[in-house]
Amino acid sequence: MRVRECGNKINMKILLLRHASPDWDRTDIPYDIPPGPPLSLKGEMEAEALAGFLKAQAVVKLYYSPFERSARTARVISALNGIDCIEDKRLSEWRSSDEPETRVRERMSSIFERAAQESQEIGPIGLVSHGGPVAVLLQELGIDPDELALHRKLFDGPNPLPPAGAWKAEQVPGEDSWNFKLEFIPKVS
């Protein structure tokens, strides 16, 4: 995927964020149907830690999935950092039972492209989503498959980042490819 160049030629920086830890014990609430389970106490602390990291990254705006765990993560970050956060359904959890991967790729690519264009104008943007959709987007953006496979073995399920983790996707002016780095893993007990 190549994002068209806009007026200002600054690095585009997008932080691909996974929601903080939900209350995994809430088996009465479906995980992949909104609203999904809320954050746990640990998740609240992870969201606060993620807010500190995003402040250091100078993130100026967040988009978030409508699922409660993502929305609450974004609201904590927004409150602590004084930045706008906007719900966007394209960042929703993957409904693996009835949503093909191609659809996940299309919706995640669409919001990423929007964020990249905004990033050229206003600075770093954060996208609060879920592990599966983040993995699909990283593949679409051209991450090294071996690197993605390695990270998918490190965390819960096939997720390429932990709860409240952050991948940085950065593109410098004049380059077509994105540089990726798993930039943040929360240290909360």
Instruction: Name the more confident of 172 and 25.
Output: 25
pLDDT of 1 higher than 60: no
Q: How many domains does the chain have?
A: 1
Q: Tell me the whole-structure pTM to 2 decimals.
A: 0.93
Evaluate whether residue 164 is within a structural domain: yes
Question: Residues of the chain with pLDDT > 90: what percent?
Answer: 81
Q: Which residues, at least 6 apart from 112, have a Cβ–Cβ distance to it below 8 Å?
A: 1, 14, 127, 137, 141, 169
pLDDT at 14: 98
Host H or E run for residue 149 = helix 145-152
pLDDT tens readout for residues 4-33: 444 446 789 999 999 999 999 988 998 888
Binned at pLDDT 50, 70 and 90, residue 47 comes out as very high
Mean pLDDT in residue range 99-115: 97
CA pair distance 163, 145, nearest whole angstrom: 21
- Which domain covers residue 42, as residue numbers? 12-184
Evaluate whether residue 89 is within a structural domain: yes
Name the average pLDDT for the chain.
92
pLDDT at 9: 60
Place of tokens 């014990």: 25
pLDDT of 49 higher than 90: yes
| Residue 164, both tokens | 């409240």
CATH of the domain at 134: 3.40.50.1240
Evaluate whether residue 107 is within a structural domain: yes
Evaluate whether residue 4 is within a structural domain: no
Evaluate whether residue 70 is within a structural domain: yes
Q: Give the distance, in angstroms, between the CA of residue 65 and the centroid of all CA atoms in the same chain.
A: 9
